[in-house]
Amino acid sequence: MEQVSTWRSHGGTQGVYNHQSKSTGYPMTFSVFVPDHDPGTKLPVLFFLSGLTCTHANVTEKGEFRAACAEHGIAFVAPDTSPRGDEVPDAEGYDFGKGAGFYVDATEAPWAANFRMRSYIEQELPELLAEQFPVDLNRQGITGHSMGGHGALTIALRNPDRFRSVSAFAPIVSPLNCPWGEKALAGYLGPDKAAWLEYDACALIENGARIPDLLVDQGEGDAFLAEQLKTHLLTDACAKAGQPATIRLQPGYDHSYYFISTFMAEHVAWHARRLALSHVQAHLA
């Protein structure tokens, strides 16, 4: 692992790092904020998955999470959205290929060799963090924005024993039912929609997946709400299945980091309470 840069911020260290990924076959860059802590302390960790076209830098520079993470003693990790490099396959348009990994393990050529963001987020990156940083993998939370919100929801629903808390900002809640998702899942996974189900939060809930709780914030002024995000599908799926969820429509807010940064501290605090509770429950078990 190579340290690209570090800065002192909010009583902690914000760093950017690079490593050769086994999952994607290419170097991957991610950022980590580690608040000050007592020697030997293992911190809960919150992953933030970014949306289409983004890298680690978007939330690192505009997410306004550090003060809240320092207050609650949470490490904050922001990976990239896909492998990158001159030899990585790509496609025309911003919604497929580089910058648009959709947090799946692709099965279709030429994407299958490198577009394995599911394995990267679920396995490789947490293992690397545990080796290199003072994080407690028994207290992992996950959140994300848009395509990253889709990733956070589906990863948590598939791994409720590992990701103890989950939230999302303006997530794509049902890729099976929106143009972004249909394009990405068909391209990465092929035409058989049965293979898509494990990458659709609404389908996972309908098929029995459960998490202890869920927080979603969605701007009512989001230009992508009606066609791509379709928050009402998640509201309906949770209500029908009895899945606990707080899904808030925020008047006047759009899809930007102005929206995300407004509610970021609330999300960090929400995760902190649940990760602290999971820690207590683990000790009592």
146-to-52, 137, 228, 257, 266 alpha-carbon distances in Å: 7, 25, 9, 11, 18
Tokens standing for residue 143: 């959140």
AA identity, residue 214: L
CA distance 259 to 266: 12
Q: Is there a contact between 79 and 103 (Cβ–Cβ < 8 Å)?
A: no
**Per residue in 10-19, is it b (16+ CB within 10 Å) or e — as a string?**
bebebbbbee
The SS3 of residue 285 is: coil
H/E stretch holding 240:
helix 231-241
- Catalytically active residues are 146, 222, 255
Provide the greatest CA pair distance for the chain: 53
